[in-house]
């Protein structure tokens, strides 16, 4: 017997007019998991989240929570918490009243409510803020109140739709770490929506990449980053090169004028130019022979100083461009011929995108 996952988004489809927003999305989320849906604006992330919440009905497919089909249940009977980009606090209430509001359906006594509010404010690092008016808090603090309120009734699942997007870069980065800590401490499953690749990699146990309503890839951050499955997944992460070529006659190796590598799984679909992904930081420049397996030449077009690292914009013999990012790279001048080197396993074959 296989036990059912905490949440099963079961082959869910949703279309608005001609626009397919969820094209048979299937996701299984386990207890205590931090699961992120990542994709560009309009890829269908919010629609999938809203269907989980019960704010939108799927055209077909089911939402199953803890083995129970909740597709026809209204939002308030699903025992979920939600946090949105706009801090949905009640402006006329103080911090403690806002957090306690999440408990109103629990019918707890006054002391139990106070105890739970104290616990939650401690969890989100707002101890002592009980009597403050929420309108006087910073953006980050307001969002922590919203998170405390959503977690107070111990939801089975917390749904978060771009909760940090309205915050400044510095606060956002701090909050990413705090949110992950809150998730670990409560051991509550989070379903998190963001269009920010770095945010997804920072916080998640697993990430689902969406494009045009299609689930492109579901993987742990490290695997997603190092082993993208399609061209879309590869290019969504900054620093990935996509190099196109062709398959050899026997279909077992990828060839382009610069290099030629045999493939473990020749899983490149026909009809599209076969392509591989190469991460910019996996490329060496003028490294001593023998350091890496694959070596080929390119011409340097220009260098771009990025602070922590430098981008070397290079052109391959067939005209394709490729970028190498190095933290302590060589001094080179534009027009110079350069030897690129990389490990065989950092050349990742890509499949066609489902479109
Ligand atoms: P994301 O959250 O990834 O930005 P959404 O799920 O909000 O994407 O929306 C995906 C697309 O679905 C939108 O670009 C829009 O065209 C369409 N859409 C979403 N909600 C509605 C709606 N209520 N009515 C009509 N179209 C909608
Ligand atoms: Mg959205």
Taken in order of first residue, the domains within the chain and their CATH numbers are: 7-225 (3.40.50.300), 231-349 (2.40.50.140)
Question: Whose atoms come closest to the Cα of 42: which ligand?
Answer: 1
Walk across the sheet containing 157-161 and list its strands. Answer: 80-83, 157-161, 189-194, 34-38, 206-211, 214-219
Q: Ligand 1 centroid to 44 CA: how many Å?
A: 6
How far apart are the CA of 19 and the centre of ligand 1, in A?
9
Q: How many residues does the chain have?
A: 355
- Tell me, what's the pLDDT at 269? 56
Q: Is the CB of 98 under 6 A from ligand 1?
A: no
Atom number, ligand 1, closest to the C-alpha of residue 50: 6
Q: In Å, how far from its chain's centre is CA 54?
A: 22
Dist. CA 274–CA 255, nearest whole Å = 9
Structure confidence at residue 1 (pLDDT): 47
**Which tokens go with 144?**
């922590």
Give the residue among 230, 205, 231 at the shortest CA–CA distance from 219. 205
Ligand 1 contact, 241 CB (< 6 A): no
Ligand 1 within 6 A of CB of 46: yes
Residue 68 has what pLDDT? 96
Please list the pLDDT of the chain residue by residue as tens digits (355 residues): 467 899 999 999 999 999 999 999 999 999 999 999 999 999 999 999 999 999 999 999 999 999 999 999 999 999 999 999 887 899 999 999 999 998 988 888 999 999 999 999 999 999 999 999 999 999 999 999 999 999 999 999 999 999 999 999 999 999 999 999 999 999 999 999 999 999 999 999 999 999 999 999 999 999 999 999 999 999 999 999 999 988 887 777 888 888 888 765 545 555 577 889 999 999 999 999 887 789 999 999 999 999 999 999 999 999 999 999 999 999 999 999 999 999 998 999 888 888 7
> How far is Cα 355 from Cα 352, in angstroms, rounded to an integer?
8
> How far is 137 from 75, CA to CA, in rounded Å?
29
Which pTM does this prediction carry?
Answer: 0.93
Q: What share of the chain is helix, strand, coil (3-state, %, to 5)?
A: 25, 35, 40
Q: Are 58 and 36 in contact (CB under 8 A)?
A: no
Q: Which two tokens stand for residue 248?
A: 């050899």
Identify the pLDDT of residue 315: 97
């Amino acid at each position: 017997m296989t036990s059912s996952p905490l949440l099963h988004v079961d082959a869910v489809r949703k279309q608005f007019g001609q626009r397919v927003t969820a094209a048979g999305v299937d996701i299984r989320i386990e207890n205590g998991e931090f699961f992120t849906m990542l994709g560009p604006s309009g890829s269908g992330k919010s629609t999938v989240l809203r269907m989980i919440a019960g704010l939108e009905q799927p055209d077909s497919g089911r939402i199953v929570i803890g083995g129970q089909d909740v597709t026809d249940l209204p939002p308030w009977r699903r025992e979920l918490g939600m946090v949105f980009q706009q801090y949905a606090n009640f402006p006329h209430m103080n911090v403690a009243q806002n957090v306690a509001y999440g408990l109103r359906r629990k019918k707890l006594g006054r002391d139990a409510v106070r105890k739970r509010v104290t616990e939650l404010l401690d969890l989100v690092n707002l101890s002592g803020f009980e009597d403050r008016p929420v309108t006087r808090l910073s953006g980050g603090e307001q969002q922590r109140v919203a998170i405390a309120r959503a977690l107070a009734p111990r939801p089975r699942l917390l749904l978060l739709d771009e909760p940090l997007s309205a915050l400044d870069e510095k606060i956002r980065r701090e909050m990413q770490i705090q949110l992950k800590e809150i998730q670990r401490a409560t051991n509550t499953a989070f379903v998190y929506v963001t269009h920010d690749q770095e945010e997804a990699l920072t916080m998640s146990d697993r990430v689902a990449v969406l494009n045009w309503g299609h689930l492109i890839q579901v993987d742990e951050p490290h695997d997603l980053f190092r082993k993208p499955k399609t061209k879309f997944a590869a290019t969504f992460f900054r620093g990935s090169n996509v190099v196109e070529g062709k398959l050899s006659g026997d279909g077992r190796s990828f060839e382009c004028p610069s290099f030629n590598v045999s493939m473990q799984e020749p899983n490149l679909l026909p009809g599209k130019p076969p392509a591989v992904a190469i991460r910019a930081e996996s490329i060496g420049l003028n490294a001593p022979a023998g350091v890496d397996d694959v070596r080929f030449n390119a011409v340097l077009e220009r260098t771009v100083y990025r602070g922590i690292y430098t981008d070397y914009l290079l052109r391959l013999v067939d005209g394709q461009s490729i970028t190498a990012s190095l933290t302590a790279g060589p001094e080179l001048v534009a027009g110079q011929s350069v030897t690129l080197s990389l490990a065989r396993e950092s050349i990742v074959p890509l499949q066609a995108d489902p479109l």
